């Protein structure tokens, strides 16, 4: 069974293409490609982020609190009704990330998200996580707000599956057609030659990795895909028109 509960620290870095190409060569010396990345070809991760009517979860997250949480639906590529997807609760407390997820079909995931009712538990589902998701949905009264996708290349360290490093590019999002099966398209959030690198581990970084970051002058920075999308949205004409209508109502 795939791992459904994760506890780890996530460190993020924004890279230009030149730096990305340098560090990829070093990754190939020390780490193994994810099984989805044959011949260094990226795979697509597509998500739906859930939030309240007034976007409470992402607004709270952008305030950088010690504790924050979110709910998303995740698929690999463009799914159909019977495709397997994940519903995930992601929490962050004092820098430690806890992710809990369960498998469902796309049809089952939509039904659960809309009704907020516990589905009949099947062998591929995680019952405890399902209960947590039901509580989460009722507690916040969530609805699907944003479709967000990106292309990923991921690595595991040889002999140390605890360490995972991913490179995401072509991050795109939309607030219309917020369904995974509607297709993979949206407005881009980063430039063509920008990559988001994430180092995920429950332990300290290995020395070779720490030395690599120092030698290449790569420094940590705060970056949230959903947060970046929301920041773009609140500066858009669409958001300003929405606020004007609410004020006139």
- Over residues 195-227, the pLDDT tens digits come to 999 999 988 889 999 999 999 999 999 999 999
* Mean pLDDT along residues 111-131: 96
DSSP secondary structure code for residue 177 in this structure: S
pLDDT at 240 over 70: no
Dist. CA 145–CA 174, nearest whole Å: 9
* Mean pLDDT along residues 67-83: 95
| Inter-residue contact 229 to 193 (CB < 8 Å) | no
Dist. CA 90–CA 23, nearest whole Å: 28
**Fold classified for 5-248:** mRNA Triphosphatase Cet1; Chain A (3.20.100)
Tokens of 219: 């420094």
The highest-confidence range among 16-25, 34-43, 157-166, by mean pLDDT, is: 16-25
pLDDT at 135 over 60: yes
Task: With cut-offs at 50, 70 and 90, classify the pLDDT of residue 36.
Answer: confident
Q: What 3-state class would DSSP assign to 142?
A: coil
| Inter-residue contact 93 to 106 (CB < 8 Å) | no
Instruction: Give pLDDT, residue 237.
Output: 65
Task: With cut-offs at 50, 70 and 90, classify the pLDDT of residue 1.
Answer: very low
């Amino acid at each position: 069974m795939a791992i459904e509960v994760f506890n780890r620290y996530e460190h993020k870095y924004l890279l230009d293409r030149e730096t990305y190409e340098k560090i990829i060569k070093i990754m190939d010396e020390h780490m193994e490609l994810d099984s989805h990345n044959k011949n260094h070809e990226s795979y697509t991760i597509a998500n739906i982020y859930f939030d309240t009517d007034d976007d409470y979860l992402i607004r709270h997250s952008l305030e950088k609190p010690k504790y924050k949480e979110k709910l998303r639906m995740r698929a690999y590529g463009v799914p159909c009704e019977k495709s397997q997807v994940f519903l995930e609760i992601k929490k962050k407390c004092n820098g430690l990330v806890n992710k809990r997820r369960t498998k469902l079909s796309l049809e089952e995931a939509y039904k659960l998200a809309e009704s907020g009712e516990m589905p009949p538990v099947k062998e591929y589902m995680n019952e405890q996580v399902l209960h947590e998701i039901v509580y989460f949905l009722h507690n916040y009264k969530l609805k699907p707000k944003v479709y967000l996708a990106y292309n990923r290349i991921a690595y595991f360290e040889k002999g140390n599956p605890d360490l995972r490093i991913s490179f995401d590019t072509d991050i795109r999002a939309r607030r219309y057609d917020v369904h995974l099966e509607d297709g993979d398209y949206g407005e881009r959030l980063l430039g063509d030659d920008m990559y988001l690198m994430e180092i995920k581990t429950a332990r300290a970084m290995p020395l070779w990795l720490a030395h690599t970051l120092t030698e290449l002058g790569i420094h940590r920075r705060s970056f949230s895909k959903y947060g970046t999308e929301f920041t773009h949205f609140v500066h858009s004409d669409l958001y300003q028109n929405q606020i004007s209508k609410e004020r006139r109502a």
